[in-house]
Amino acid sequence: MRILLGLLLTASISAPALAACPPLLDHTLPSLTDQATPLCQFEGKVLLVVNTASQCGYTPQYEGLEALYRRYREKGLVVLGFPANDFGGQEPGGNRDIAKFCEMNYGVSFPMFAKSGVSAGNANPLYATLAAKTGQRGDRSKKYAKYGSHNAPCTSRRPVTAGSTVSPSSAHVPAPARAT
């Protein structure tokens, strides 16, 4: 499975209780269990948004993502997983199959969303917003792109990018305790 460690990003600063949700997070998407999940609930958190696939060379990164999530979740890190079949058909299963695979093989406990598109022309609303914000359109030449900021939590006008081979344990991956 490919963890298309698609996107690193940090959510916006805490806003007043009655303020509108920031545009980046102003989406409600279905989870792997078909629960409507408003992304606004993650406002003020450091987010690591990752597109995944269960039948590729990057699949073992689930282990590192879970370790990162468990280590830093109490400090405000949230890993958001987005299974996608956009790159070579490497996520052929349905949502139930994906959930079972993630739990049985990697003990994934971070939020996972329903299988959706992440590449240009097929992107779910979050990925479309991220592509517009970063100028990265999710085409095949950018299929393992990562986006993020080491400021935690903050709003990044143009997140930094890192390559697909960057391990979740790398200092290049934002986490609250090591953010600078």
Is the Cα dihedral 35, 145, 156, 178 positive or negative?
positive
33: left (phi over 0), alpha (psi -120 to 50) or beta: alpha
Instruction: Please compute the mean of the pLDDT values over residues 150-171 and round it to a whole number.
Output: 53
Residue 164 in this model has a pLDDT that exceeds 60: yes
Residue for token digits 């939590």? 153
66-83 pLDDT per residue, tens: 998 999 899 888 888 999
Using pLDDT thresholds of 50, 70 and 90, give the confidence band for residue 168.
Answer: low
Instruction: Please compute the mean of the pLDDT values over residues 34-48 and round it to a whole number.
Output: 90
Residue 157 in this model has a pLDDT that exceeds 80: no
> What's the pLDDT at 29?
97
Q: Are 97 and 42 in contact (CB under 8 A)?
A: no
Catalytic residue among 40, 56, 102, 154: 56
Q: In the chain, which ranges are E strands?
A: 3-10, 28-30, 36-38, 46-52, 77-83, 146-148, 160-162
Give me the chain's average pLDDT, please.
Answer: 75
The yes-or-no answer on residue 154 being catalytic is no
Q: Are 6 and 57 in contact (CB under 8 A)?
A: no
- Cα separation, 119 vs 112, in Å, equals 18
Would you state the CATH architecture of domain 3-175?
Answer: 3-Layer(aba) Sandwich (3.40)
> What's the pLDDT at 50?
84
> What's the pLDDT at 111?
96
83-142 pLDDT per residue, tens: 989 888 889 999 999 999 999 999 999 999 999 998 878 889 988 887 777 776 555 434
Residue 14 in this model has a pLDDT that exceeds 80: no
Residue % of the chain over a pLDDT of 90: 30
Instruction: Please compute the mean of the pLDDT values over residues 158-180 and round it to a whole number.
Output: 57
